[in-house]
Structure formats: C-alpha cells, structure tokens
Structure 1
Amino acid sequence: MVTAFLIVSGASLLAVALLMGITAWVGHRLGKVSVVDTAWGLGFVLVALVAALTGCLLGEGNAVRRWVLLGLVGVWGLRLAWHMHRRNHGQPEDKRYAEMLGDAPFSVALRRVFFTQGISLWFVSLPVQVAAVAGDGLFWVAVAGIALWLIGATFETVGDAQLAAYKRDPDRGPVMDRGLWAWTRHPNYFGDACVWWGIFLVAASAWPGVLTVLSPVAMTYFLVWATGAKLLERTMMRRPGYPEYAARTSMFVPWPPKRQH
C-alpha cells in the first residue's frame, strides 16, 4: 500500500503543479493574482479525480470510499470555484493580494501565492490521496464524516446565499447580521472547516487515514487565522457597526448571539 500511496501522492502533486502553473500564467496575462481563488476549489477536485483514477488503475483500496470522496470533493470544489469566479470576474485585484504584494514583481507572487497555495492544497488533500488506496474500514465513521460534510456544505451554501441576498437589498443595514450570520460572523468559513473534517473522517474510517489529521487542522488554521476570518476582520472592523456586531456574535463556531444591554 505504501508504494501505491506514493504513486497517488506523486501524481496528485504533479497535477497541482500543472494547475498552478497554468493559473499563474493566466494571472500574469490578466494582471490579477486573485484568479488563484478559483483554482483553489478546482485543485481539490483535480486531486480527488487523479487519486480516484490512479487508485483504480493500481487496483488498490475500497472503490466505494474512493468514489464517494470524489463526489464530496467534486460538489464542494466546483461550487466554490464557480462562486469565486463570479465574485472576482470583472473586479479589480483582491485587496488581500494587493496589500500582500504591493508593487513587487510577479515573481514574488509566484512564490508567495501560487507556490504556497499549491503546496497547501496538496497537503490538505492528503486524506483524499490516502483514502484512494486504503482498504475496508468502519462504516459508521464514514457515515459520520458524510453527515459532517453535509452540515458544512449547508452552512457554506446557505451563508453565501444569505450574503448575496443582503447585498441585493436596497434597505440593508451597514452590517450583515441575518440568518446564519447572526450566529457566526463567518458561516462560510465554518462550513469549509466542517467539510474538510468530514472528508477526513471518511478517510479515517480505514487505516492509515487517521494519520492525515494534520490536513484538516491546517485547513482550519488557514480559514481562521492565516488567510480567512482573522485577515478579513482587520478590514471589517473599520466598517461602521461591525465592532458592535462582533461584540455580540461568535467569530467562527456558531453560537446564540449575546443579548444587548
């Protein structure tokens, strides 16, 4: 199995490198590093597809788990990629990347954005790679993982839809604090974390999937501290009404809002 995993992992790494290379070329032509946000979701789908096909060709692992994971990652990744494409299309460079890179040459973006995200994508997707060649496992653990994935996908999809409706409302207030956003300031990021903990549980249902636990830990770190909620909060705290919203609403894990005195 070790040899099979190394083949799957190597093929996945090559696929990610090719995708990020193409994305960097497109970004350079468009003058926008933010195209990498669309490639992020597509990259996970690509890894899941490569892992599933490679595991099948090698004749290793549980076929049902392999294709279930491809379905879970595919639905999540394609929805995320389409959402990011619609959000960024026709817009100027994302403020996060503009502040990060400043006037630096594109070679800096290659290292700090495309290379870093490519390696991160490959590492976070390790549960999918291992599961492609793992044998039979505990059915109830896989079911728990699918249930957690469903919770995460619901939070992410509903949260994005509620935010879009808020932006279309001409009578909206200064801060989105409706629906899921009344319970957590980042329901989409929380949903992402649940999705990847769910995928991990599906992989962990069979040995040695449990050894990939650092992958969902890394994804959660990205979503909360590195490139997600904490980074966005720096800008949002300048918006009128947001500090008050933050004082009564959980930042990440959904929780009933605090009562205002």
Structure 2
Amino acid sequence: MTVTAVVSRRIGRVSVVDVTWGVALTLVALVSAVLGDGTAWRRWLVLVLVAAWGLRLSWHIFLRQRGAGEDPRYAALLGGGGFVVAVRKVFLLQGAAIWFVALPVMVGAATDVAWDWLVWVGVAVWVVGVVFESVGDAQLAAYKADPDRGPVMDRGLWAWTRHPNYFGDACVWWGIWLASAMASGWLPGLLTAMAPATMTYFLVWATGARPLERTMMQRPGYAEYAARTPMFVPRPPRRP
C-alpha cells in the first residue's frame, strides 16, 4: 500500500489501488504457502486459487484504467481532500482490509486439513465465482465495444444480476474460506468467518455495488433495468 500510495500521488489517481488489491492478496497467499507448516498440498492449492483470481483481476483493472480519470466513487469518498486524506481513507483502510480478508488463507497455511471434502466444496464455490466474474467482465467489455449497444448493459449474466463481477468476487472468497480455514475444523472456520463476510460487505456496500449504483441511477434506462434485475444475488430476470 505504501508503494501504491507513491504511485497514486505520481499519476494523480487514487483508483490505482484497485490494481493492487489482487496482487497484494496473491503475495499474502505466496508467503503463507512458503512459510506455512500446515497440510502442504492445500497450501499450494489455495495459492493457485488466490493467484488465478487475483492476477486476472489486477490485469483486467489495469487495462480498464489505462487512460482513464479518477473513479467517481473514490472522488466522492475523498470529498476533494488531498494526499493525506487518501492515505487515511483509502490506502491504510484497504491495507488493513487485505490483511483481514486474507486471514483464512494464513490460518489454512498454518493448520492441517480436517475435512478433505470441504476443500473441494470450496473449490467448486470458487469456480462459480470466477465464472461469474470473468464472464461478466468479458460480456461488459463486448457491450462497450458494440457501436449499436443500448443505454444499459442487460445481456447475459447482467440480465440475472446488476453486478455479476461483484457477486463472483464474493463467491471466490467464500470458496477460499471453505477450502482453507473452514476445512481445517470448526474453530479455525468460525474464527475467520468474518473475513469473507467483510469482503462481501465491501463488495455490496462500501466500495462496490451500492456506491456504483448511485452513479448508474443517473443513466437513462437504468432505473427500469434495476426494477427487473436484482442488485447482487442472481435470479431469473422479471419481465419489464
């Protein structure tokens, strides 16, 4: 986060922190896999899960941000404040969030597997999340590249949820929690359950769907789209 803050000040854009998010969590998983003394195959499996998700996400956000200005959500959060406000409200907060969200990864690396089957349940939930996130991102990119697109993206997964990428992100971290801490037993699982819950809170309320909704509601046709499509958890779309 210190490196990211320096880069942010140089380029004049706080939203670069979103690129750091996946890379930082991958680094936590790597250090945990190398230094942990828990079940070896599970340590490296969790590293693969975190890295496959995190590096794809960081690269996707990096490409999306090239040549772009500040994200309106961060501009609203900072309220015109300068670098010191950004350090306090963004970089310190997200650094602490990364540590907290990664607790299941660290606990899993330091403990042995109690329930092998739960590791694979977690992997299955992770797969669902990655599919929603990556397919949703690809569908949104195709929509933006379509010169005949409508005012609102309501195709594919976006017809089932207004934020398939955020929903996928939440599934990824509930899956990682199941495969790492929860598969080590009830106590490690319960002690770290707030980590994916906090991640879900950020995705829905703090920096994800809800702040973005305030901006999107100003777009023509979005209110009608919201009336027939759930914000987060997918379900078949209602008829207009």
| TM-score above 0.5 | yes
1:189 partner amino acid:
Y
How far apart in 1 are the matches of 2:169 and 2:161? 13
Tell me the residue number matched to 1:10.
Answer: none
The two structures have a TM-score, normalised by structure 2, of: 0.97
How far apart in 1 are the matches of 2:112 and 2:15? 39
Tell me the residue number matched to 1:159.
Answer: 136
> CA-to-partner distance for each residue in 1:52-95, whole Å, 9 max, x for gaps?
1111xxxx210011000000000000001001101112211111
How far apart in 2 are the matches of 1:99 and 1:138? 45
Tell me the residue number matched to 1:11.
Answer: none
Tell me the residue number matched to 1:251.
Answer: 231
The one of 152, 166, 182 equivalent to 1:189 is 166
The one of 173, 176, 180 equivalent to 1:199 is 176
1:242 matched to 2:219: no
How far apart in 1 are the matches of 2:66 and 2:15? 10
How far apart in 1 are the matches of 2:21 and 2:94? 8
> CA-to-partner distance for each residue in 1:179-220, whole Å, 9 max, x for gaps?
000000000000000000000000111134302100000001
- Give me the CA root mean square deviation: 0.9
Tell me the residue number matched to 1:13.
Answer: none
Tell me the residue number matched to 1:230.
Answer: 210
Tell me the residue number matched to 1:45.
Answer: 26
How far apart in 2 are the matches of 1:23 and 1:259? 45
C-alpha contact (below 8 Å) 1:200/1:209 kept by paired residues? no
How far apart in 1 are the matches of 2:70 and 2:113? 46
How much has 1:136 moved relative to structure 2? Answer: 2.6
Tell me the residue number matched to 1:31.
Answer: 12
1:35 partner amino acid:
V
> CA-to-partner distance for each residue in 1:22-66, whole Å, 9 max, x for gaps?
1101111111111101001111001001111111xxxx2100110
- SS of residue matched to 2:184: coil
- SS of residue matched to 1:152: helix
How far apart in 1 are the matches of 2:18 and 2:45? 25
Deviation >4 Å, runs of 4+: none
1:62 matched to 2:39: yes
Tell me the residue number matched to 2:196.
Answer: 216
Tell me the residue number matched to 2:108.
Answer: 131
The two structures have a TM-score, normalised by structure 1, of: 0.89
How much has 1:226 moved relative to structure 2? Answer: 1.0
1:95 matched to 2:75: no
1:142 matched to 2:119: yes
How much has 1:105 moved relative to structure 2? Answer: 2.0
Alignment of 1:86-125 (within 5 A): 86-125=63-102
1:169 partner amino acid:
D
1:220 partner amino acid:
T
How far apart in 2 are the matches of 1:192 and 1:95? 21
How far apart in 1 are the matches of 2:23 and 2:178? 22
How much has 1:259 moved relative to structure 2? Answer: 1.9
